[in-house]
């Protein structure tokens, strides 16, 4: 089974960065790089590494900025990859997809479970989809299941 994670508003506190929206509108990718975590990352990494050892795959499916140019998309992708490497260095993701804003995540990933703060993404997900508040509860169940 694949387990997918959204970043912004799910595991990353992008919206908690002071002036995040004006910065994004000015094509400044800084908020993506400096945002604080929304979850206990040590605990998350332990679960993810354990799930992989059990044979599950883990991935990130995250949108680019709504304000977009090819150059800015590259900077945002870079900032998101930096964040993941800095905050979850022990996690070796099976897949990281950073896609255009508004992309249907199910159509991009097509299987597994999703953790996402956007109701629209959860509602259009073809499998099980959960709010970020449920991350540790669901991961604990997956680990127990085997």
Q: Enumerate domains of the chain plus CATH numbers.
A: 2-144 (3.40.50.1000)
E-state strands within 22-102:
57-63, 95-99
Digits of tens for pLDDT over the chain (146 positions)? 999 999 999 999 999 999 999 999 999 999 999 999 999 999 999 999 999 999 999 999 999 999 889 999 999 999 999 999 999 999 999 999 999 999 999 999 988 999 999 999 999 999 899 999 999 999 999 999 76
Torsions phi, psi of 109, nearest 5? -110, -45
Is residue 16 within 8 Å of residue 39, measured between CB atoms?
no
Q: How far is CA 61 from the centre of its chain?
A: 6
Residue 10: its H or E element: none
The pTM of this model reads: 0.95
E-state strands within 24-128:
57-63, 95-99, 113-115
């Amino acid at each position: 089974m694949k387990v997918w994670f959204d970043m912004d508003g799910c595991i990353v506190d992008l919206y908690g960065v002071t002036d995040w929206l004006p910065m994004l509108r000015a094509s400044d990718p800084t908020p993506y790089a400096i945002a604080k975590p929304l979850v206990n990352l040590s605990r998350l990494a332990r679960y993810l590494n354990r799930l992989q050892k059990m044979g599950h795959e883990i991935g990130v499916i995250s949108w680019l900025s709504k304000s977009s140019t090819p150059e800015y998309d590259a900077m945002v992708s870079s900032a998101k990859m930096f964040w993941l490497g800095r905050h979850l260095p022990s996690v070796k993701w099976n897949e990281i997809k950073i896609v255009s804003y508004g992309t249907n995540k199910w159509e991009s990933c097509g299987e597994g479970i999703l953790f996402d703060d956007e109701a629209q993404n959860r509602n259009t997900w073809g499998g099980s989809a959960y709010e970020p508040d449920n991350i540790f509860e669901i991961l604990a169940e997956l680990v127990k299941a085997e």
